[in-house]
């Protein structure tokens, strides 16, 4: 029977044969030092993964079995899918959302089978894991009508004369009809997989996981010792069965359930001079397990994910989580600019390239939303200083607006509408400044009368 190949072998074989065919077609075999390991390792890096170190080979798929990698990809992907993505248009009054078919594609549903959340979440995960994420633009009369995801492992990229040519399952696609989002790149044309580029770190983390599992599943938690040997094998079996049952009521031992965690808490009965000796992990094994935390920190750094977002609050004070959210939005999500620029370049007409009147834009308002008191102070300052309207605040909070009256801007000074300030200044400037003694006394009478509750007559003589 054929022995099963390790995971990732088929992928490395495909890469190997593709590279061999490319070299053969260019006639470059003669220039290769066939006895030079470094030359082969430079041309076929995936072929020799794990050869120089005692670590398992890693692939984009196998790396996702590492909990930290899976968590980081999930956080990055779901965060991008959560952010509202809109089609914007510059107007005399400022940027406005341009509702239409294109806005619906990027904001709601790129195709009948995929929501915008799933679409952009998948794009981000593919971009990080495989280095490149692509989607085909299906057009009707030059206008986009749907976007289809293209699996990165089925994509082929060829660079000729500085231009990238795209092939999906050997089917050529024009560069103007494909959205290409790149991860870390050194040439600006193709991205590099975060997993492949950090294969040694990923392999070490995977090995730590496998080692920890082997400790839990194989290492005994203790041993039974006796000063005398059992009289026969039956006595030894009876003693062992008592320990395996951990004080259960049944006398029968189910061998298939031996060692299950649920039975560890039981207390066995020992006889015949048996003593139980607990086994603890050696110091080097404990240090080896602790090094897994360092590997987690490395992976957080590779994907630029703050540990608190991954549920790791070790050495992180409570009040720092909000600051880490800001750092995440400011630095990790800086790559959103590439997605905005790629969509603006390829989804709008040629005439828009010069004017940039229409563009695609992510909104980070929901991600950076503070607590209730912070938002209250922010909105209050915005309305009182005239750079927010009541209706805009209602839209931010997703509550009904005031109607047309809520679109007015206000400033401090009894919150007078901006349009009326000039008239108020003119009216105050034209008001008479000199009042007669009689008019002042009359004004005072009217102000004091309702406050004296019938005692006005007692002080009326002082006002005459």
Higher-scoring residue by pLDDT: 15, 7: 15
Please report whether residue 404 resides in a domain.
Answer: yes
pTM (predicted TM-score): 0.64
Q: Average pLDDT in the 108-122 region?
A: 95
Q: What does the pLDDT read at residue 331?
A: 85
Residue 194 · residue 133 · CB < 8 Å: no
Give the DSSP letter of residue 263.
Answer: G
Provide the 3-class DSSP secondary structure of residue 461.
helix
Please report whether residue 116 resides in a domain.
Answer: no
pLDDT reading at 138 higher than 90: yes
pLDDT reading at 259 higher than 50: no
Please report whether residue 24 resides in a domain.
Answer: no
| Closest by Cα among 135, 118, 128 to 81 | 118
Higher-scoring residue by pLDDT: 119, 30: 119
pLDDT reading at 52 higher than 50: no
The dihedral sign for the CA sequence 303, 304, 310, 312: positive
Give the DSSP letter of residue 377.
Answer: H
Q: What does the pLDDT read at residue 334?
A: 87
Measured in residues, the chain has a length of 464
Please report whether residue 394 resides in a domain.
Answer: yes
Pair (267, 303) in one structural domain: no
Instruction: Return d(Cα 183, Cα 124) in angstroms, integer.
Output: 9
Q: b/e per residue, 414-434, with b = 16+ CB within 10 A?
A: eeeeeeeeeeeeeeeeeeeee
Tens digit of each residue's pLDDT (9 = 90 or more) over 185-225: 888 899 999 998 888 888 887 777 776 666 655 555 566 67
Report the percentage of the chain scoring pLDDT > 90: 27
Q: What does the pLDDT read at residue 361?
A: 92
Pair (395, 423) in one structural domain: yes
| Closest by Cα among 70, 144, 68, 134 to 103 | 144
Contacts for 434 with CB less than 8 Å, ≥ 6 apart: none
Q: Which helix (H) or strand (E) holds 438?
A: helix 437-448
Q: Which helix (H) or strand (E) holds 159?
A: strand 155-160
Query: Scanning the structure block, which residue is given the tokens 């938690």?
Result: 221
Q: How confident is the model at residue 3 (pLDDT cuts 50, 70, 90)?
A: very low
Please report whether residue 390 resides in a domain.
Answer: yes
- Which two three-digit tokens encode residue 245? 């049952």
Of the chain, the end-to-end C-alpha distance in Å amounts to 121
Q: Where are the alpha helices (DSSP H) in 331-409?
A: 336-347, 352-355, 372-384, 390-397
Higher-scoring residue by pLDDT: 17, 381: 381
| Last-in-domain residue among 236, 254, 279 | 279
What domain range includes position 267? 220-279
Please report whether residue 132 resides in a domain.
Answer: no
Q: Which helix (H) or strand (E) holds 256?
A: none
- Average pLDDT of the chain is 75
Pair (289, 263) in one structural domain: no
Give the DSSP letter of residue 360.
Answer: E
Query: Scanning the structure block, which residue is given the tokens 């800086």?
Result: 334
| Last-in-domain residue among 279, 311, 346 | 279
Q: What does the pLDDT read at residue 217?
A: 52
Please report whether residue 313 resides in a domain.
Answer: yes
Q: What does the pLDDT read at residue 167?
A: 95
Pair (423, 407) in one structural domain: yes
Q: What does the pLDDT read at residue 358?
A: 93
Pair (269, 228) in one structural domain: yes
Tens digit of each residue's pLDDT (9 = 90 or more) over 389-448: 888 888 877 777 877 888 888 877 656 676 777 777 777 666 565 666 677 777 777 776
Q: How confident is the model at residue 40 (pLDDT cuts 50, 70, 90)?
A: low
Looking at the structure of the chain, the number of domains it has is 3
Higher-scoring residue by pLDDT: 263, 120: 120
Q: b/e per residue, 2-41, with b = 16+ CB within 10 A?
A: eeeeeebeebbeeeeeeeeeeeeeeeeeeeeeeeeeeeee
Pair (389, 416) in one structural domain: yes
Residue 141 · residue 100 · CB < 8 Å: no
């Amino acid at each position: 029977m054929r022995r099963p190949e390790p995971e990732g072998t088929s992928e490395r074989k495909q890469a190997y044969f593709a590279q061999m065919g490319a070299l053969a077609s260019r006639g470059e075999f003669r220039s290769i030092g066939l006895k030079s390991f470094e030359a082969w390792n430079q041309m076929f890096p995936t072929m020799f993964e794990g050869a120089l170190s005692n670590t398992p080979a890693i692939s984009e798929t196998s790396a996702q079995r590492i909990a930290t990698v899976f968590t980081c990809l999930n956080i990055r992907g779901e965060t991008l899918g959560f952010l509202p993505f809109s089609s914007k248009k510059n107007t005399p009054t400022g940027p406005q959302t341009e509702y239409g078919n294109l806005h619906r594609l990027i904001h709601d549903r790129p195709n009948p089978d995929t929501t915008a959340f799933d679409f952009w979440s998948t794009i981000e995960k593919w971009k990080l894991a495989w280095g490149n994420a692509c989607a085909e633009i299906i057009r009707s009369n030059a206008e986009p009508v749907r976007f289809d995801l293209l699996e990165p492992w089925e994509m082929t990229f060829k660079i000729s004369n500085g231009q990238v040519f795209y092939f999906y399952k050997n089917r050529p696609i024009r560069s103007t009809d494909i959205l290409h989002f790149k991860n870390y790149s050194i040439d600006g044309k193709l991205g590099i997989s975060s997993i492949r580029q950090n294969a040694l770190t990923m392999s070490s983390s995977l090995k730590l996981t496998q080692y920890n599992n082997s400790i839990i599943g194989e290492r005994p938690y203790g041993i039974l010792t006796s000063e005398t040997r059992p009289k026969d094998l039956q006595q030894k079996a009876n003693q062992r069965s008592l320990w395996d049952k951990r004080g259960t009521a049944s006398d029968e031992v189910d061998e298939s359930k031996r060692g299950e965690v649920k039975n560890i808490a039981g207390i066995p009965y020992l006889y015949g001079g048996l003593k139980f000796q607990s086994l603890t992990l050696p110091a080097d094994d404990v240090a080896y397990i602790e090094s897994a935390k360092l590997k987690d920190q490395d992976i957080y750094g590779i994907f630029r994910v703050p540990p608190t977002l991954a549920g790791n609050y070790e050495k992180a004070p409570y009040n720092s989580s909000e600051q880490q959210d800001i750092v995440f939005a400011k630095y990790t999500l800086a790559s959103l600019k590439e997605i905005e620029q790629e969509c603006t370049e390829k989804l709008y007409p040629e005439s828009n390239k010069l004017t940039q009147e229409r563009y695609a834009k992510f909104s980070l308002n929901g991600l950076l939303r503070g607590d209730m008191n912070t938002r209250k102070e922010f909105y209050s300052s915005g309305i009182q200083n005239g750079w927010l309207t009541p209706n805009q605040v209602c839209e931010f909070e997703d509550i009904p607006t005031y109607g047309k009256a809520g679109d007015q801007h206000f400033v401090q000074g009894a919150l007078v509408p901006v349009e009326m300030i000039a008239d108020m200044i003119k009216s105050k400037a034209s008001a008479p400044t000199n009042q007669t003694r009689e008019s002042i006394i009359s004004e005072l009478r009217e102000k004091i009368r309702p406050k004296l509750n019938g005692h006005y007559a007692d002080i009326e003589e002082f006002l005459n």
